[in-house]
Every structure is written in structure tokens, then in C-alpha cells.
Amino acid sequence: MTEFDSKQAIESQRILDLLFSYMPKIAAERKMDNLLVLMADLGRSIVSADRCSLWLVDDERGELWTKVAHGVSELRIPKTAGFVGCSVTTGEALLIKDAYLDSRFDSRTDQKTHYHTKSVMTVPLKDSTGQVMGVFQAINKQGGTVDEFSEQDLERLRLTAVYSAKTVESAMLTAELEATQREIIHTLGEASEYRSQETGDHILRVAEISRKLAEYLGLPPDEVERIRLTAPLHDLGKIAVPDAVLNKPGRLTDEEYAVMKTHVDLGYRMLCNSKRKLLRYAADVARSHHERWDGQGYPLGLKGESIPLAARICAVADVLDALSCYRCYKAPWPEEKVKTEFAKMKGSQFQPEIVDALLEHWDDIYSCYRSQNATIDVDAIDYRR
Ligand code: C2E
Ligand code: SIN
Ligand code: SIN
Ligand code: FE
Ligand code: FE
């Protein structure tokens, strides 16, 4: 073995070790920001660069953006700026010995970050259709006798880019799906809000209060997020309730109340056939948010833990909001009366642990009503049945 060969063997081993140490971290990461930082770190180690960034194309804004490790915010540059922009436009890699001798160089980032760029490599990231979706950029070769990147470094960055492209593509798909789900939920929630003259913030408050309760109950973050996202849909079925009933300014007759109660099944039927897991989960919340812990609720009379947890939580948030705010049929109650009511309903209408969480963190949870109810009329007539 020549000295050159053995150096090569050591270098290959080093790269393999790097890949094996980064791969599990990258595979487990779901957030795009963190993925970009991880892959940039991997690229930087593989080619021994001082800096390395993974830039992604933002077509809507005509920009490239990246996230730097430990940086608070993302960096953005015009889509055509500098070597990175050049690689986006041509789809070709670049290997630059001295940036300042090249007319394509854009020194503005150097000026902003008080840095001196010398050697540069850029490699485009292509998705499965061949579209350029970003650029891998390595700056300033480190650690050797030369301060330039070699053809071999470029080849290594290319391989890292191919691997990164696949990871980014599937992360973008996941992000896109989740964003779509969120948007659907938001739109549906707004639609039901629009129909029933409840105040614009009602749905957001129920979602936010449900999230807080779920958090205080110590549920895992995924479950908390699911509850936050699906709570806004609990009254979706009200969309299909006739206006005369839905917005009646006063007490409902028994017949009208029977019609009103159908909103739980209506909401369930609107959501339960969705292909989206999150919306099927919302269907259960819509169906069960008027069940009671003691089994006296509707539509099924489910009791205790046979009521889905998210629905048990949403029920508390929903009633807290109904009592604390104006409804077409009632004035807001004073704070103390609401609090006493919950203490009374603990164990009958609501699961004791959830009421405990509410009462224990009352100030934090109730704070959203403080300003708006500053001037409630304590003797306001309550039209409720
Ligand atoms: P909502 O206004 O969102 O109220 C949600 C839940 O809060 C009610 O479910 C009930 O459990 C609780 N709640 C509201 N006001 C009071 C109250 O004064 N005292 C107590 N203890 N709990 C209260 P519920 O009863 O199943 O009603 C479902 C929906 O039916 C209500 O949603 C509202 O849209 C409508 N609704 C109920 N009663 C009346 C009424 O008398 N008049 C009108 N116009 N609508 C009503
Ligand atoms: C989320 O947790 O953000 C949404 C979950 C899902 O997509 O099903
Ligand atoms: C009703 O009779 O209006 C529903 C029961 C309740 O007040 O929770
Ligand atoms: Fe409801
Ligand atoms: Fe409600």
C-alpha cells in the first residue's frame, strides 16, 4: 500500500463513520429546519469545510432560504444571487478557488457576517423529477495543506446532496400534507363559525383552552397537538342546523333543542369518512363533546373513559367558553359563578381530573376572558333552558 492509498483508506473510513453517526439522527428528524442544519453539518464534516449550508428554493417569494445552526432566524437571499443562485439557474455544480476573483460572487453575505469567503463549492439538489429544489454550499476548505476544495471533495458533496435531496423531498411532502390538513381544519372551523353568530374568536379559544388542559394533564406532545388541531371542529355540525334554531335569541323549545342536539351526529358524519386520520379523530371529538362523565350526555350516553379523551377535554373548554362569553341566548357569567359551576359539575358532567387541571391553572386559562368581560352585567338575564 502506498502512502497515498493508506491515506485514502483512512479518509474513506472517516466518511463512513460520519455517515453512520448522522444517518439515524437525520432519519428521526421531522422538522425541516433541524434537518437542514443536520445535513449541513454532515456536509461540512465530509468535505472539511469551514461553513456549509443547505439552501432551499422558495418559489413563491423568488428566494433561497437556509437555517444556520444556533441561528435564531433563517437566512434569505434572492434566488439568482451569487454562486448559489448560479447553481439554481444552471443546475450545475461549481468549484471555485477564490471567490473574490469570480464575477458571479455576491459578497453581500460576507459583508453582513464579517466573513471572508475564499474557496467555494455549490451542488444543486434535485428532486425525483429533476427540478432543482435547493443547493448545497460549502465554504473555505479546512485542515489540509491547501485551502482549496478538490474534485474529490466536489464528488463527495454531490453524493451527500443526492442523499439529502431524498430526505428533503420526503420531509417537504410530509410538511405539505400536514399544512394541508391544518388548512382544511382551519377552513372548516371558520365555516361553522360564520354560520352561527358566535364570536370570531370562539373556536380559537376552545382550541387554545383544550391545548392548555391537555398540556396540564401531562399528555404527550403529539396528543396535545392533535387535540389543539381538532377541537376547532367540535361544532362543525352546527353548519347544518337551521338558522331559526341556531341563532334564536332566547330559550329553545324542547323540539328546537332536539334539532340542535343533532349537530353532534351531523358533524361526525361530515368528518368520519375522511381519508385523513386527523379528520377522523376530529369526527370523534365532534360526536362526543356533549357526552357527560356520568353517562347522562348525548348522543350515545357514553360514560367515563369510554368517551374519547379529546372529547372529554374539549367538553370542558367548550362549556367554559359558553359560560364566559355572550351567546345569542345568554349573557356571560361572572368569573366566580363560572368557577363554582365547574366545581359543581366535577365528577358529574366532567371528568374530575380535567376539572382539577382547570381549577388548578385557572388564572392562566381564564386570562383570555379577563379583558373582554371587564364590564359584565352580573344580573343579566339568562335565557337558557
Ligand atoms: P354552546 O352555546 O356552545 O354551549 C355549549 C355547552 O355549554 C352547552 O351544551 C352546555 O353544556 C353548556 N352551557 C351553555 N350555557 C349554559 C348554562 O347556562 N348553564 C350550564 N350549566 N351549561 C351551559 P348544550 O346544552 O348541549 O347546548 C348545545 C348548543 O345548543 C349550545 O352550544 C347552543 O348553541 C345551543 N343551545 C343550548 N341551549 C340553548 C338556548 O336556550 N337557546 C339557544 N338559542 N341555543 C341554545
Ligand atoms: C400533527 O401532529 O401535526 C398532525 C398529525 C397528522 O398529520 O396526522
Ligand atoms: C341542557 O339541558 O340544556 C343541557 C344540560 C346542561 O345544562 O349541561
Ligand atoms: Fe356543541
Ligand atoms: Fe361549542
> Cβ distance 323 to 333 under 8 Å?
yes
**pLDDT of 354 strictly over 60:** yes
| Ordered structural domains, the chain, with CATH | 3-171 (3.30.450.40), 195-370 (1.10.3210.10)
> Cell numbers of 330, please?
345568554
Q: Is the pLDDT of residue 173 over 70?
A: yes
Q: Is 384 in the pocket of ligand 1 (CB under 6 A)?
A: yes
Tell me whether the omega of the peptide bond preceding residue 299 falls within 30 degrees of 0, making it cis.
yes
Residue 385 pLDDT > 50? no
Residue 146 C-alpha cell reads as 491547501
Q: What is the DSSP string of 128-148?
A: TTS-EEEEEEEEEE-SSS-SS
Q: State which of 278, 280, 284 you would mutate to test the pocket of ligand 2, scoring each by most atoms of that ligand within 8 A of its C-beta.
A: 278
Q: Name every residue whose Cβ is closer than 8 Å to that of residue 157 and which is 6 or more positions away in sequence.
A: 43, 46, 47, 93, 121, 123, 136, 138
Q: Which one of 29-38, 53-62, 346-355 scores highest in mean pLDDT?
A: 346-355
Better pLDDT: 145 or 352: 352
pLDDT tens track for 231-280: 988 998 888 888 899 888 889 999 999 999 999 999 999 889 887 788 89
Distance CA 226, CA 208 (A): 12
Mutate to test the pocket of ligand 1, among 255, 293, 314, 329 (most ligand atoms within 8 A of CB): 329
Proximal ligand: closest to the CA of 288: 4
- Average pLDDT in the chain: 88
pLDDT band at 185 (very low <50, low <70, confident <90, very high): confident
Look at residue 94 in the predicted model and tell me its pLDDT: 97
pLDDT at 70 over 50: yes
Euclidean distance between CA atoms 310 and 333, whole angstroms: 25
pLDDT in tens, 267-325: 999 889 887 788 899 999 999 999 999 999 999 999 999 999 999 999 999 999 999 99
Q: Does 7 participate in catalysis according to the annotation?
A: no
| 101 vs 27, more confident | 101
Query: Is the distance from the beta carbon of residue 385 to the nearest atom of ligand 3 less than 6 Å?
Result: yes
Q: Give, in order, the Cα–Cα distances in Å from 110 to each of 106, 114, 117, 272, 335.
A: 8, 5, 7, 54, 57
CB under 6 Å to ligand 2: residues?
Answer: 178, 181, 222, 225-226, 277-278
As a whole number, mean pLDDT of residues 212-226 equals 95
Protein residue whose Cα sits closest to atom 35 of ligand 1: 260
CA angle, corner 269, sides to 267 and 275, nearest 5? 105
Residue with CA at minimum distance from ligand 2 atom 8: 278
Q: Ligand 3 within 6 A of 277 CB?
A: no
Helices (H), the chain: 3-28, 32-47, 82-90, 108-113, 151-195, 202-216, 221-230, 243-246, 254-261, 263-271, 277-288, 309-324, 335-345, 352-360, 362-370
Out of 253, 256, 257, mutate this one to test ligand 3's pocket (max ligand atoms within 8 Å of CB): namely 257
Number of residues that this document lists for the chain:
385
Kindly give the number of the ligand 3 atom that is closest to the alpha carbon of 297.
5
| pLDDT value of position 383 | 43
pLDDT higher for 143 or 126? Answer: 126
Confidence of residue 375 (pLDDT cuts 50, 70, 90): very low
Name which residue sits closest to atom 4 of ligand 1, judged by CA. 322
Q: Which of 212, 238, 248, 275 is catalytic?
A: 238
Give the residue, 74 or 259, on which the prediction is more confident.
259
pLDDT band at 112 (very low <50, low <70, confident <90, very high): confident
Beta carbons within 10 angstroms of residue 199's beta carbon: 14
